[in-house]
Every structure is written in C-alpha cells, then in structure tokens.
Amino acid sequence: MTSQVEILPQVSSLDSLFREYWDFVLESWPSFATYLGDHRYDDKLEDLSQEAYDKWTSRAEDLLGRVSGISKESLSAKDRINYDLFSRELIQRIGVARFRPNLLPLNQLAGPHIDLPQLTAFTRFSTVVDYENYVKRIGAFPAQVDRTISRLEDGVRSGILLPRVAVEAVLSQIRIQVISTPESSPLYGPAKRFPESFSENDKDRLSGIIKNTIVEGVLPSYRKLLEYLEKQYLPMSLEEVGYWALPNGDAWYRFLVQSYTTTDLTPEQIHDLGLKELSKIQQEMKLIMRQVGFDGDLQAFSKYLRSEPKFQNTGAESILSGYRQFLNDIDSRVAHLFGRIPSAKCEVKEIESFRAKEAPVAHYYQATDDGTRPAYFYANTYKPETRLTFQMEAIAYHEAVPGHHFQIALQQELRGLPEFRRNGGYVWPGYTAFIEGWGLYAEAIPKELGLYKDPYSDFGRLEADAFRAARLVVDTGLHALKWTREQAIKFLEENTAMSKEDIIVEVERYIVLPGQALAYKIGQLKIFELRSRAERMLGEKFDIRAFHDELLADGALPLDLIEEKMQTWVNAQS
C-alpha cells in the first residue's frame, strides 16, 4: 500500500511539470498568451527560427522523460488522467517533428501576414506601457518575416512546399496589407482610440512611433514577403494539392488523421464512413424537401436554395443581427438540457475585411480567464448575399450556445484542471474530435427544445450535418486518394447546398489543414453513440441534463477516454 507521504511528492512533481510546460507554451507562443489575456509577452512575436522549433522538440522530449519517471500507480484517478493526457500531448509534439511542419509557416488561414493585424482585437490598450509593448511587437515583424522566408526556403530545398492555390490566396491577403497610407493599416487602429486619460503629449508621441514603425518596418516587410512569394516561391509551388505529394506525405497525413480524430481509423475507413453517413442524412433531407412541396431531386433543391433571393442576406448587419437573435432564442431554453451554465458571455463579431475572403463562415475565440474580454463568435459577412439565412441557425448553435462557447467556457471554469487542459484547446492537437464533435452535436440538440421551427432552417441543420459527412469524403479524397481540387469542389457542389464561394474556401482550407475537418463528424458520432448507450442502459433513470453535465465535466478529452469516463458514469447511475 502506498502511503500519503509517498504520494504527495509525486503529485507535486507532476504539477510542477505541467506548470513548466504551460509557461514554455506561452513564452514560445506570445500571441496565444495575448489571446488568453496573459499580457506578459505582449511585446513579442513568435520566433519562427529553426533553432526555436528544435528547442520545442527538445523540451518536449525532456518533459516526457521526466514525467515517465513518475510512478503512475501512486497517483489518484484524476492525476492519472492528467498524466496520460500530458504524455500523449508530448508524444504528439515529438512525433510530428519528423515531418518538419515548420517549413510550412503560413497559409491563407494562419501565418505572420494575418496573425499580426488580427492580434489588435485581443491586445490590451489601457496604459502607456501597453502601447509601448505594442510598438515593440509590431517592430518585431521584420525579423519574423525574415525567419518565415528562411523556413520557406528550407521547404523549397526539402520539397516541402505549399500548393500553388494556397500561395495565390496568401498573396491576395498580403496585397491588401501593402498600402500607401499607414493610417489605413489595421495596425494603426489603436492610435485612433487612445484612452481619455492619456495626455496629448503621449498621444502624439505614441501615434508617431506607431506610424513610423508601420512605414519603416511593417510595410517594407510585407513588400519583401510579397516579392519573395511572387518571384521565387510561387514558381516552385506544387500543382498537386494533397499531402500525398509531399516527402513522406502519406505517413504525415495518417499521423494527422490519428491526432485529430484520436482514433485508429484509417483514411480509407473514414472515406467509406463519410459516404455512408452522407447517404443516410440525405434521406432525411428529402423528407423536408417533400414537406415544403418542392418537386425535384436534392441537387435541384440545393440549387433553388442558393439562388432564391428570400434566403440571401442583404448586408453585414442582417447577418450579425440574425445570429444574435438565434442566440437570444436559445438562451432562455438551454437550462432544459444543462444543469451547469457558463458565466462568460459571448459576443457576435464581424470577421475583419483583411481576412474575410479566405476565412470560414464563422469561428470562435474563448474569453479571457479574468473576464476582461468576452468570448467572440466571429461571423463572416463577405459577400453577404452568399451567406444563406437558412444555414445560420445551425451555425449559431455550433459556434456559441450550446456549442463551442458552452463547452470551452465551462472548461475554463474548471479551476482544478492544469492549464494545458483548461486552456489548451487551441494548442495542437487539442482533442479536436471532442471539441468539434461537441459543436456538431450542439447543432442537433436545440431541435429537442422546439427550435428549428422553420423547415428551411431544419433543412439547414441537416445540410450542415451532411456537409460534415462530406468532409470525411473530401479530406481523405484530397490527401489519401489523390483527388484534385476540382474533384473536391464538384463533390461538395453535388452533395451540399453551400454557395460556390463557401465551397472553394472550405476545400482550400482542407488542402492546408489536413485531417482537422475529420474531427467534427467522428466526434459527433461518438457522442451520439454514448448518449444512445446511456439511454438504453438507464431507461427511465436517464437524465439528459446530468448526461450533458458529466460529458463536459472534465473538459476536452480523447474519444477513448470520454467513452471510458461516460461508461463509468452510467455504471454508477444503474
């Protein structure tokens, strides 16, 4: 029998490793620290040098060796889970390094060219020191661009290259940032909204420094990156769009599939599962099509929905107000499905124009721990007529309540969790299958509350579900079965009601973010499986509020641990 005296040093050592790791994450990823509301590194940008990446891998190896020296048997059940998750995360970080992902440091979804201007929405601008830190941060952009170019050059030498279509999208984003007047840059925005407490001297001094840093540092660096990509990288970029075309690309993709789904499913199995699920959902969609009296097949109905003016938004405000109304509707009913409600608020926010064209239809950012900034549900208003009204209800539930905001905000409230679990959802791999699986599950359950009253919105719910099933087909098609971009676009056109613009954005997202799109449907299917099992085993004892509370009680977990946890809960209720 292990004594309490022996256990305490083990737990202390484990907690110390967790803190050391998390501090290293934030120090190495200053922008992520800013997103979380930790402002210790607001004067810095990520170091994209090869030395910094190698340091990451070495630190992970060191931490894994040290955690392996702790006796797992002497830990409590809670600490064993922390131990296993920590070890898994380190193994993932070490394992991916052999594929050299840092040689692809930018794409149309992320990278220095769009991360820096986006950071202004999350940066604190309350004091003169805050502004001075901001100046240092944007002043670090030239060095970051130089390191980005160095990694891209390493990629050219190694054959690890972006596809041409992604480079062209990045070029269009950079051209937006290469402007003639610094005052038009989103980076100058903080100089237009100084706190009233600032003296005129401080305002003049800081606005001058910000302007000068943009003119002498930021804009020349954007031009340098633009010129390099146009003249040197683009001609070398790949016509093929799948990871199969990269060195060791097949193994790389299979590694990512396992990481994002937290299962042992192969790309081929997932492809077949997607086709099966898509067919099943389409049968439900046909029932609604007949309900509204449409005479034709699903493809014709989808074409009608995309072209019918009554389903088209007229402007940005109609999109934003529409989302807000859906969230107001569910806020008054959600307590019927949950015992625990998060305290953090979620604001609907418009995606910035400099990234809107290539951005997805919506995405979520969590609130800061200290409550100084709410969570953001970012909505895309680019080409509002292509943002179809019947699709919006499901999107609102997925991104906010009871979807990502609900799950992540509740996770943030779990003060007993180590930080790498409580706030680690955005740190790869992040247990995406549970996070996105919950988001997709959350699209469905409002129907149990009497929502989706409009049959077209209910069709939109099913269409969104079918779209996630189609992702299983398209992602694996692109990266394992050697599909072309055009094949992927055609498949989604024939099997979803999405606009052509959204389909292109989605396909190009899968091209640069392989495996991530698989997590949604894989995770959702597992959650529904666990719920069905609990309902069957508990019968009249089944309580949906208790089930949801337990499912979310320990934050995001790999699917195998979620299954084990929920089975233990069911056994305890029996």
**What is the predicted pLDDT for the residue at 415?**
87
* Alpha helix segments (H runs only) across 29-179: 30-36, 50-68, 77-96, 112-119, 128-139, 141-158, 164-177
What pLDDT score does 5 carry? 45
CA dihedral over 478, 482, 488, 494, signed as positive or negative: negative
Confidence of residue 1 (pLDDT cuts 50, 70, 90): very low
Digit-coded pLDDT (tens) for 356-396: 988 889 999 999 988 889 999 999 999 999 999 999 999 99
Question: pLDDT band for position 563 (50/70/90)?
Answer: very high
pLDDT at 217: 98
Task: State the greatest distance between any 2 C-alpha atoms of the chain, in Å, as a whole number.
Answer: 75
Amino acid occupying residue 89: E
Q: What is the average pLDDT across 453-468?
A: 97
Long-range contacts from 129-132, C-beta under 8 angstroms, 24+ separation = 130/39, 130/42, 131/190, 131/194, 131/206, 131/210, 132/43, 132/206
Q: Alpha-carbon distance 538 to 543, whole Å? A: 9
Report the C-alpha gap between 148 and 458 in whole angstroms.
Answer: 45
Q: Are 233 and 156 in contact (CB under 8 A)?
A: yes
- The whole-number pLDDT of residue 426 equals 59
Token duo for residue 86: 């920590």
**pLDDT at position 354:** 85
CA-nearest of 268, 337, 273 to 546 is 337
How would you label 491-521 residue by residue, b for 16+ Cβ within 10 Å and e otherwise? bbbebbbbbebbbbbbbbbbbbbbbbbbbbb
Residue 393 makes CB contacts below 8 A (sequence gap 6+) with: 326, 446, 451, 452, 454, 457, 460, 461
Least confident of 49-63, 203-217, 345-359: 345-359
Identify which of 449, 438, 445, 446 has the alpha carbon closest to the alpha carbon of residue 552: 438
Question: Predicted confidence band at 436 (pLDDT cuts at 50, 70, 90)?
Answer: very high
Could you give the CA distance from residue 242 to residue 249 in angstroms, rounded to a whole number? 8
Mean pLDDT computed over 113-120: 95
Q: 546: phi > 0 → left, psi -120 to 50 → alpha, else beta; which?
A: alpha
**Distance in angstroms (rounded) separating the CA atoms of residues 215 and 208:** 11
Spatial CA neighbour of 406 closest among 479, 300, 516, 327 = 327
C-alpha to C-alpha distance for 17 and 66, rounded to whole angstroms:
8
Q: What share of the chain is helix, strand, coil (3-state, %, to 5)?
A: 70, 5, 25
DSSP of 469-511: HHHHHHHHHHHTS---HHHHHHHHHHH----HHHHHHHHHHHH
Task: Calculate the alpha carbon distances from 75 to 12, 15, 17, 72 in Å.
Answer: 11, 12, 15, 5
Q: Residue 3: what pLDDT? A: 47
Question: Residue ranges of the domains in the chain?
Answer: 4-241, 252-525, 536-573
Which letter does DSSP use for residue 218 in this model? I
pLDDT digits (tens, 9 = 90+) for 164-207: 999 999 999 999 999 889 999 999 999 999 999 999 999 999 99
Q: Rounded mean pLDDT of 125-133? A: 98
Average pLDDT over residues 542-569: 97
Q: Express as a percent the part of the chain with pLDDT over 90.
A: 90
Q: Check residue 10 and give its pLDDT.
A: 66
pTM of the model: 0.93
Higher-pLDDT residue of 299, 427: 299
Does residue 275 surpass a pLDDT of 90? Answer: yes
Angle between helices 77-96 and 4-28 (to 10 degrees): 40
pLDDT class of 429 with cuts at 50, 70, 90: low
C-alpha to C-alpha distance for 65 and 72, rounded to whole angstroms: 14
Provide the pLDDT confidence category of residue 499 given band limits of 50, 70 and 90.
confident
**Average pLDDT over all residues of the chain:** 95
Q: What is the mean pLDDT of residues 242-256?
A: 98
pLDDT at 428: 66
Report the alpha-carbon distance of residue 163 to residue 241 in Å, rounded: 5
